[in-house]
Amino acid sequence: MATDAKIELHYFAGFRGRAEVPRMLLEATVGPDGYRDVHVSIKDAKADRAGYPFAQLPRLVDRAGGGGGGGGVVDVCQTGAIVRHLARRDPALGWYGRPGSLAEAARVDAWLEGCEALRIAHFALNYTDRWSDAATEAALTRHVRPATAVGDLETEQMGPSKPRGAHFGYLDALLGDATWCVGGSPTVADLALMELFEVWSGAAPELAATWPRLAAHRDRVAALPAMSAYLASGRRPARINGNGLGEGPDPSQKAGD
Ligand SMILES: N[C@@H](CCC(=O)N[C@@H](CS)C(=O)NCC(=O)O)C(=O)O
């Protein structure tokens, strides 16, 4: 494949961040020869408002992805827009649900939004609160521990512990004992859930013990042929976060060190 036919994933070098679900989906759909990482500095991104309209990364450039008979370029920012484009690019692959099923596509969307809510909470914990003991404890109470996933009126009155729709217990109940998030085969919802689980597990090891069905789901996704090849390839950035925090239980990674 000629270089300019490769889909470009523009992001910072060295960590997974918000580029990771798009990258997993690229691995699963076009494979490692069908895309390339383009490393961009935040300075360059902020200087190019046409390419980065929100002054943020990631960005996807897919020169053959426009469809509509004549091809056309898809050049888009916002992670949700990127993963939806990649998931529906080749409908027969089923990453947006069964081809033609609006019902499954809608359920995939619901999963993506549910994961996004927890992603935003993780962002605050990592970059604003920097995993301080107090903030970590509060976030685990609000988003991980079963007591706050009740969803009844009492929970609604819990003030700072109110999960506001962002809780691993909600995702666990939605998955139930199913193998995949939506329908009978993996979709981008499964990739988003796996990455979300890993991102939080970095500094919240109690997650796996608290929600074993989500831990088992993570292992199932990791065992998919495209994912196991990717995970073993060295192509996956080693670090989760841009600031080096929240990567594991090492206490030296706490704020202030
Ligand atoms: N809603 C956006 C958020 C993107 C975002 O937060 N990007 C971060 C990197 S993960 C960024 O560019 N941060 C630099 C900045 O906001 O100045 C998306 O989903 O793509």
38 in any annotated domain: yes
Find, among 158, 179, 257, 175, the residue nearest to 224 by Cα.
Answer: 179
User: Does residue 160 contact residue 142 with C-beta atoms inside 8 Å?
Assistant: yes
| Tokens 């033609």 -> residue | 100
21 Cα to the center of ligand 1, angstroms: 14
Domain boundary among 64, 89, 114: 89
Read off the pLDDT of residues 33-77 as tens digits, 9 standing for 90 and up: 999 999 999 999 999 999 999 999 999 999 987 765 556 899 999
Last residue of a domain, one of 89, 104, 124: 89
Whole-number average pLDDT of the chain: 91
Encode burial over 204-228: b for 16+ CB neighbours within 10 A, e otherwise.
beebbebbeebeebbeebeebebbe
**Cα 170 to Cα 1, 80, 160, distances in angstroms:** 43, 20, 18
* Confidence grade of residue 249 (pLDDT, cut at 50, 70, 90): low
81 plus 101 within the same structural domain: no
- The number of domains in the chain is 2
Residues 79 and 102 in one domain: no
243 lines ligand 1 (CB under 6 A): no
Atom nearest to 19 CA in ligand 1: 10
The residue whose C-alpha atom lies closest to atom 20 belonging to ligand 1 is 78
Q: What are phi and psi of 238, to 5 degrees?
A: -70, -40
Pocket probe for ligand 1: among 10, 43, 57, the residue whose CB has the most ligand atoms within 8 Å is 57
Task: Tell whether the model's pLDDT for residue 257 goes beyond 80.
Answer: no
249 lies in some domain: no
pLDDT on residue 65: 77
Mean pLDDT to the nearest integer, 92-114? 98
Residue 154 sits in a domain of what CATH number? 1.20.1050.10
Token pair belonging to 191: 């990739």
pLDDT of 122-181, one tens digit each? Answer: 999 999 999 999 999 999 999 999 989 887 777 666 778 888 899 999 999 999 999 999
Burial (0-12, 13-18, 19+ Cβ within 10 Å), 63: middle
Select from 89, 112, 135 the last residue of a domain: 89
Identify whether residues 39 and 149 lie together within a single domain. no
Q: Are strands 35-39 and 59-62 parallel, antiparallel or unpaired?
A: unpaired
User: Looking at the structure, do residues 77 and 100 belong to the same domain, yes or no?
Assistant: no
Percent of the chain residues topping a pLDDT of 90: 82
